[in-house]
Amino acid sequence: MTIFEILLPAFVASLILTGIHAYLGVHVVERGVIFVDLSLAQIAALGTTVAYLAGYDVHSDAAYLFSLGFTFLGAAIFSVSRVHRKTRIPQEAIIGIVYAVSAAVAILVMSKATQETEHLKEMLVGNILSVSWPELGKTAVLYSLVGVFHFVFRDRFLLISLNEPEAERRGWNIRFWDFLFYMSFGFVVTSSVAIAGVLLVFCFLIVPAVTAMLFSEKLGVRLAIGWTMGVVVSAGGVALSFVMDLPTGATIVGTFGLALVLLAGVRKALGGAMNSIEPVRARARSSAVGQ
């Protein structure tokens, strides 16, 4: 087997993860629940850990169902704990607590199992090089179904993320739609963690979305930027891990961080030029209206 044949599945996995996570990341960033993915990923990892302690292989269907069940529980917690104007407790605090407790319980559970150190490491950084083509096929189908679900209900999900007061004014049940959102999110996270680990899943979700927000406020443009960044950074991370003989998952995470810093610097450098152009555009619009 050639190096290309070894690295190709990891790169394809990165493309699949980028496709769904860049979109979900827009919702997460707009809702201000930045660490919800990290928390749900940790809950999914806890479910896998419990399955492992129960005697199931971490890549078995039973372990997946354990992980999915724990993730649905997290979805229910986050939908019920949505912040309303009458509460003083930010939802991010609840998300952080859930993450910390899930991580601690996972460590406690693994302390009763053998080879716990290696398993905990795999949950954090994953082992994306070991992904198989059948697994990628199943994941692609699942993410496509989640994508169709979000497309069908895109008006509701987007309005709740971008303009919650308007959604409330229309009388929508915000907690119900939140639960559906987090439940669909749970399907994605459960599969993603099994492939890439907690840290890489978080990067795929947040970094492209944050980078896209630096350059545009339009949803379509943000998605284009996020998807492009995910593809380029994934390819660079996989290649760098091979050249430098580094763990692939951790290398992609580091590459995402470096790319974000570089692009933030580019945005800052372009800021002065863009700010100087804006008054000219404003005057042009005013002249057009006057005519």
Taking only the tens place, the pLDDT of each residue in 60-101 is: 889 889 989 999 999 999 988 876 555 567 788 888 899 899
pLDDT tens track for 219-267: 899 999 999 999 999 999 989 988 998 888 889 999 999 999 999 999 9
Decide: residue 245, CB within 10 A, 0-12 exposed, 13-18 middle, 19+ buried: exposed
Average pLDDT across the chain, whole number: 84
Using an 8 Å Cβ cutoff, are 149 and 185 in contact? Answer: no
> Around 106, how many Cα atoms within 13 Å sit in the side-chain half-sphere?
27
Task: Decide if pLDDT at 290 tops 50.
Answer: no
Q: Whose CA is closest to 222, among 236, 212, 230, 237?
A: 212
Q: What 3-state class would DSSP assign to 132?
A: coil
Distance set, CA 172 to CA 10, 157, 175, 243, 267 (Å)? 41, 11, 9, 52, 38
pLDDT value of position 3: 79
| Residue partners of 232: CB distance under 8 A and separation at least 6 | 259
pLDDT tier at 131, thresholds 50, 70, 90: confident
Predicted confidence at residue 55, as pLDDT, reads 83
pLDDT above 90 covers a percentage of the chain that reads 46
- Residue % of the chain over a pLDDT of 70: 86
Mean pLDDT across 134-161: 94
> What pLDDT, on a 0 to 100 scale, did the predictor assign at position 263?
94
Residue positions counted in the chain: 291
Distance CA 267, CA 103 (A): 36
DSSP secondary structure string, 163-182? Answer: -HHHHHHTT--HHHHHHHHH
In which band, very low, low, confident or very high, does the pLDDT at 172 lie, cut at 50, 70 and 90?
A: very high
Nearest Cα to 216, choosing from 202, 205, 204, 228? Answer: 228
- Copy the structure tokens of residue 171: 């009388």
Please, which contacts does 2-8 make with residues 24 or more away whose CB atoms are closer than 8 Å? 3/242, 6/129, 7/129, 7/238, 7/239, 7/242, 7/248
For the record, the structure tokens of 198 come out as 């907690």
| Across 12-39, average pLDDT | 90
Q: Name the one residue in this structure whose structure tokens are 């005013």.
A: 286
